Structure 1
Amino acid sequence: MLTLLCRDEADILESMLRFHLAQGVDRIIATDNGSVDGSLEILKRFERRGQLTLLQEPEHTHDQAVWVTRMARMAAAMGADWVINSDADEFWWPEQGSLKSSLTQVPESIKGVLVERTNFLPPVRNIADKTPFYQRQTLRERVSRNSLGKPLPPKLIHRAHAGIEISDGNHGAGVDGTPISAIENAGIEILHVPIRSYAQLERKIRQGTEALQRNKRVSAGIGDSWRKIYANHLSQGTLPAYYDSLRPKPAALAAQLVRGELIDDRRLLKALGNPLPRVAVITPYYKEPLAQLRQCHDSVLAQSEPCLHVLVADGHRRRRINHWRAEHVRLPRSHGDIGSTPRLIGSYHAIGLGVDAVAFLDGDNWYRPDHIASLLAEMDQHQADFVSSSRTLCRLDGTVMGPCPLTDPERFIDTNAMLFGRGSFHLLHQWVLMPPYGHLIGDRIMLHHLKNAGLKRQHLNQVSVFYRCAKAGLYRQMKEPIPEGVQPRPDYETSFRQWESDGQPPL
């Protein structure tokens, strides 16, 4: 297991959590120390997935040894074998295999492993650069030194123990006052990214030092580097110059690379450079024109919140989609259920990859660029299991008619306007369990199950889904002439009657 104490580390936190879970960490125990930058919300998402146990300490005293000791003992109580006590800016990198396989090979007699760490250089100071840290920071020191000019002290991985005591800084541990003995090399190193921007450095020094000053337990020697930078630079107004001094000028960089003092290390870039989006958009398709499918796909790519687009061929695959930036699932035959089976299969494919939410978009419809971001923000803010919006009705040629007058969060929400969070994933199987007549009114049946389950729902009164009207009824509803090529209105009433005759409540 891995323990983590963090405060305001949103720029790196999700990458760090995903990396270590992928490396075989069974569970993360995290303490959030009063974060206000979105870190707490990230931790809560992993908690809802069942991958993280979350503790909160709102008092800003950075009582690291006390809080990490508590987490390490919790890990022992939860059945951990090894415990890694990590900071949010550390990536514990195995030379071979995974962290789990590397630690499994350590002999039973060994109770601790010392792991060396080296720093990546901070990027050039540029407040306009919003690219992820792993894209901006690929130069790493071969040997990193502390404020005294000595190599950074290693960190400790230890076997779980109910009476473990962790020292400040996570550099050592003991039981009943006796330090744990440890070997120096187990094929693991720490890739350390302590400074990722000027704003992050300033926040870290200010928050960390002032928290330590409030802590009556620790001595003045704890956090010595933070305290010196605070006194000598932040308080004196010279922190920008200090930041700039941490990165050599281009000529010096080149010389240090030649001498091997710096290493061009792109391992984090490779490992983190293609993170899985939080949201998957599932598009079942049958025989829609390729141009419509392309418009649908482009609208997913254009989302301000990156999405994984999963297109599911319902028996009629389009080979060109293999070259799109999407997951292409191809079913060998059509199920004849208006996309219900492809929706479920696409959803399970995405959930198996690890997404946090699933939306749906039929192949002849498209999204406004902020659609997913707006629904996801609403889901996060209210910790909702399901979020929905309204839709804009469009003619066959794509021109806009206006907002849909039918949307009612208690009676009708179009499938294309639904966002299912993890708390509602267990209802997705209803796409295929509904009776055959139900697929025609599948969106209403799914809303019925959502309401019946008592899940927390939120609705946004925004018309951010563009719905291409291919049936006559909506044109009449909008008092529009019915264009050529439009299908007759389906017989919804028969489906409603059959639903009620089966003993179900009116939809």
Structure 2
Amino acid sequence: MLVLTLLCRDEADILESMLSFHLAQGVDRIIATDNGSVDGSLEILQLFERRGQLTLLQEAEQTHDQAVWVTRMARMATAMGADWVINSDADEFWWPQQGNLKSSLTQLSESVEGILVERTNFLPPPRKSNDQRPFYQRQTLRERVSRNSLGAALPPKLIHRAHPGVEITDGNHGASVDGKPIAAVKDASIEILHVPIRSYTQLELKIRQGTEALQRNKRVDPGVGDSWRKIYANHLSQGSLPSYYDSLRPNPAAIAAQVVRGELIDDRRLQKALGNSLPRVAVITPYYKEPLAQLRQCHDSVLAQSEPCLHVLVADGHPRRRINHWRAEHVRLPRSHGDIGSTPRLIGSYHAIGLGVDAVAFLDADNWYGPDHISSLLKAMDEHRADFISSSRTLCRLDGSVMGPCPLTNPDRFIDTNAMLVGRNAFPLLHHWVLMPPYGHLIGDRVMLHHVRQSGLRHHHLDLPSVFYRCAKAGLYRQMGEAIPEGVQPRPDYEASFRQWEADGQPPLR
């Protein structure tokens, strides 16, 4: 059994990729300690915990007490039955030269108690850049030999056999048992692809948080974290950190020369490995002028799905800049189409399909999912070999409080757009979002269900109210026997659209 331990604080930009990568490389279990993250890292760890892949510990005291906390995790790994333990940082990708990590370690002689693994750094991206792509797309130049900020060669990291009395050193570079260092041998079958600096903002936060945490830690020697402390004192405190950051990346001419000399390597292994790890399902969210808090609740519910999803948010003419920093695809349309999200819904779908997803779901900006919504629909799609899966929905008041299951749901007549999962064989039907007549957008969910039923594709319905629908129109409050609150819109004239649909020779939708 191979267990990876991880201590992290505010690493959301890299964390999900790092966890998924190592699980795919033969790691059986991850034990992680979150040290007071506020950037979404904790939520990512909790997602992997819900999947049963990770054991989560939390330490609110921000003292970066690494040796103590990692030792605890390494001993927990032993108690779980681990054979080998990797004590990793969030910016490290342990890359096997052949097979996977577990198979590489299994081939070692029983006499080997630990191996030393070399690491090399990827260059940071330019400081002044508007490139919003993931780090593995932006950073493909790697140093052949890397040195720390003090000019010393980067020390290797250690993989060790599990032991109930193991002690891990600060920095995760060594381990001992009964006061004796674990005898480790150099081994080139594994290397560490290291991405320590991914943006100026990330570097500044890392140096500030790390150094100030070490300053609060009375256990550690002042030499621990020397690189952080020197950068903090010489650059962050002096206001020269931007210049220091710029010095870490040579100018284009120097980069070209270093590539020719072999000092820099164009290494796209992470780009290939992480770029291909696309979720099966994309969730498409058109948005117009909804409050940011509603968009955040919608997005958070997608991130919290027990089945990983790609969230595609499509701005219908009014983009929110903050979304550029979310873990999502952000498509910005230059003007609004005035069709209640139909055009953005189709464009977002085609964007996701072009990336390679197997199914698309929809979630309006003011609604949200229960945590197992997508996994339940996807499981039903697989079990019933269906091309289209639908669910029920739960009606909620404007403040988000629950009224109850929607009485209108009927798999033969009405499925809310938010409760649809469209499989690959049904992708050709998606064009109806924009080809339906203008009056049809008001009843677009019924029109789409009509085309699904007409297509003859296999359709399965789950009586599972796992979509939470915020009622913004008066009609549903009357349907539920509730007083109509302030702030809701009048009930639209759906009947006019139904009549026009039938007048055009189409079968009744009511």
Same fold (TM over 0.5): yes
Of residues 440, 446, 452, the one that matches 2:464 is 446
In the alignment, the residues of structure 1 paired with residue 384 and residue 84 of structure 2 have an alpha-carbon distance, to the nearest angstrom, of: 32
Aligned Cα root-mean-square deviation (Å): 4.1
In the alignment, the residues of structure 2 paired with residue 18 and residue 50 of structure 1 have an alpha-carbon distance, to the nearest angstrom, of: 13
Amino acid of the structure 2 residue aligned with 1:95? Q
- Counterpart in the other structure of 1:13: 15
Post-superposition offset of 1:296 = 7.6
The residue matched to 1:114 in structure 2 has which SS? strand
- Counterpart in the other structure of 1:399: 438
- Counterpart in the other structure of 1:76: 78
Corresponding position: 1:480 with 2:502: no
In the alignment, the residues of structure 1 paired with residue 503 and residue 95 of structure 2 have an alpha-carbon distance, to the nearest angstrom, of: 61
- Counterpart in the other structure of 1:122: 124
CA contact (8 A) 2:200 2:245 kept: yes
The residue matched to 2:15 in structure 1 has which SS? helix
In the alignment, the residues of structure 2 paired with residue 414 and residue 479 of structure 1 have an alpha-carbon distance, to the nearest angstrom, of: 10
Corresponding position: 1:300 with 2:349: yes
5 Å-filtered alignment, 1:99-114, equals 99-114=101-116
CA contact (8 A) 1:279 1:359 kept: no
The residue matched to 1:308 in structure 2 has which SS? coil
5 Å-filtered alignment, 1:273-422, equals 273-277=275-279, 279-280=281-282, 298-302=347-351, 308-310=357-359, 346-347=381-382, 360=389, 397-400=436-439
Structure 1 residues 261-313: Cα deviation after superposition (integer angstroms, max 9, x where no partner):
1111111111112332374569xxxxxxxxxx999864423579x882438xx
Of residues 199, 206, 228, the one that matches 1:226 is 228
The residue matched to 2:186 in structure 1 has which SS? coil
Amino acid of the structure 2 residue aligned with 1:487? P
Amino acid of the structure 1 residue aligned with 2:262? G
Percent of pairs with identical residues: 65
- Counterpart in the other structure of 2:157: 155
| Distance of aligned partners of 1:59 and 1:360 in 2 relative to their CA distance in 1, 3 Å threshold | farther
Amino acid of the structure 2 residue aligned with 1:55? L
The residue matched to 2:499 in structure 1 has which SS? coil
Corresponding position: 1:67 with 2:69: yes
In the alignment, the residues of structure 1 paired with residue 13 and residue 434 of structure 2 have an alpha-carbon distance, to the nearest angstrom, of: 43
Amino acid of the structure 2 residue aligned with 1:189? E
The residue matched to 2:244 in structure 1 has which SS? helix
In the alignment, the residues of structure 2 paired with residue 38 and residue 349 of structure 1 have an alpha-carbon distance, to the nearest angstrom, of: 35
The residue matched to 1:252 in structure 2 has which SS? helix
The residue matched to 2:185 in structure 1 has which SS? coil
The residue matched to 1:199 in structure 2 has which SS? helix
- Counterpart in the other structure of 2:481: none
| Distance of aligned partners of 1:99 and 1:460 in 2 relative to their CA distance in 1, 3 Å threshold | farther
- Counterpart in the other structure of 2:332: none
Post-superposition offset of 1:82 = 0.4
State the TM-score, normalizing by the size of structure 1: 0.65
Post-superposition offset of 1:399 = 2.1
- Counterpart in the other structure of 1:504: none
- Counterpart in the other structure of 2:209: 207
Amino acid of the structure 2 residue aligned with 1:198? Y
CA contact (8 A) 2:440 2:447 kept: no
In the alignment, the residues of structure 1 paired with residue 207 and residue 241 of structure 2 have an alpha-carbon distance, to the nearest angstrom, of: 10
Amino acid of the structure 2 residue aligned with 1:52? L
Amino acid of the structure 1 residue aligned with 2:357? L
The residue matched to 1:189 in structure 2 has which SS? strand
The residue matched to 2:210 in structure 1 has which SS? helix
The residue matched to 1:480 in structure 2 has which SS? helix
| Distance of aligned partners of 1:97 and 1:344 in 2 relative to their CA distance in 1, 3 Å threshold | closer
Amino acid of the structure 2 residue aligned with 1:480? R
CA contact (8 A) 1:106 1:186 kept: no
In the alignment, the residues of structure 2 paired with residue 159 and residue 400 of structure 1 have an alpha-carbon distance, to the nearest angstrom, of: 67
In the alignment, the residues of structure 2 paired with residue 359 and residue 64 of structure 1 have an alpha-carbon distance, to the nearest angstrom, of: 49
Amino acid of the structure 2 residue aligned with 1:446? L
**Paired positions, count:** 376
- Counterpart in the other structure of 2:469: 459
- Counterpart in the other structure of 1:261: 263
| Distance of aligned partners of 1:487 and 1:441 in 2 relative to their CA distance in 1, 3 Å threshold | farther
Amino acid of the structure 2 residue aligned with 1:60? Q
| Distance of aligned partners of 1:196 and 1:349 in 2 relative to their CA distance in 1, 3 Å threshold | farther
Post-superposition offset of 1:361 = 7.3
In the alignment, the residues of structure 1 paired with residue 174 and residue 216 of structure 2 have an alpha-carbon distance, to the nearest angstrom, of: 23
Of residues 123, 127, 143, the one that matches 1:141 is 143
Post-superposition offset of 1:6 = 0.5
Q: Which runs of 5+ in 1 are unaligned?
A: 283-292, 312-341, 351-357, 363-377, 383-387, 408-412, 417-438, 451-456, 464-473, 491-507
Structure 1 residues 417-456: Cα deviation after superposition (integer angstroms, max 9, x where no partner):
xxxxxxxxxxxxxxxxxxxxxx99945x334xx6xxxxxx
CA contact (8 A) 1:83 1:157 kept: yes
In the alignment, the residues of structure 2 paired with residue 195 and residue 343 of structure 1 have an alpha-carbon distance, to the nearest angstrom, of: 37
Post-superposition offset of 1:226 = 0.3
Q: Which runs of 5+ in 2 are unaligned?
A: 285-341, 361-376, 392-398, 403-408, 410-414, 419-431, 450-457, 474-492
The residue matched to 1:162 in structure 2 has which SS? coil
| Distance of aligned partners of 1:414 and 1:399 in 2 relative to their CA distance in 1, 3 Å threshold | closer
Of residues 243, 249, 252, the one that matches 1:250 is 252
State the TM-score, normalizing by the size of structure 2: 0.65
Post-superposition offset of 1:152 = 0.8
In the alignment, the residues of structure 2 paired with residue 214 and residue 231 of structure 1 have an alpha-carbon distance, to the nearest angstrom, of: 16
Amino acid of the structure 1 residue aligned with 2:258? Q
CA contact (8 A) 1:115 1:154 kept: yes
Structure 1 residues 292-343: Cα deviation after superposition (integer angstroms, max 9, x where no partner):
x999864423579x882438xxxxxxxxxxxxxxxxxxxxxxxxxxxxxx97
CA contact (8 A) 1:390 1:404 kept: no
In the alignment, the residues of structure 2 paired with residue 97 and residue 77 of structure 1 have an alpha-carbon distance, to the nearest angstrom, of: 27
In the alignment, the residues of structure 1 paired with residue 389 and residue 471 of structure 2 have an alpha-carbon distance, to the nearest angstrom, of: 18
CA contact (8 A) 2:211 2:225 kept: yes
- Counterpart in the other structure of 2:367: none
| Distance of aligned partners of 1:34 and 1:136 in 2 relative to their CA distance in 1, 3 Å threshold | same
In the alignment, the residues of structure 2 paired with residue 349 and residue 145 of structure 1 have an alpha-carbon distance, to the nearest angstrom, of: 55
Amino acid of the structure 2 residue aligned with 1:459? Y
CA contact (8 A) 1:281 1:307 kept: no
Post-superposition offset of 1:254 = 1.6
Structure 1 residues 436-480: Cα deviation after superposition (integer angstroms, max 9, x where no partner):
xxx99945x334xx6xxxxxx7433479xxxxxxxxxx9658663
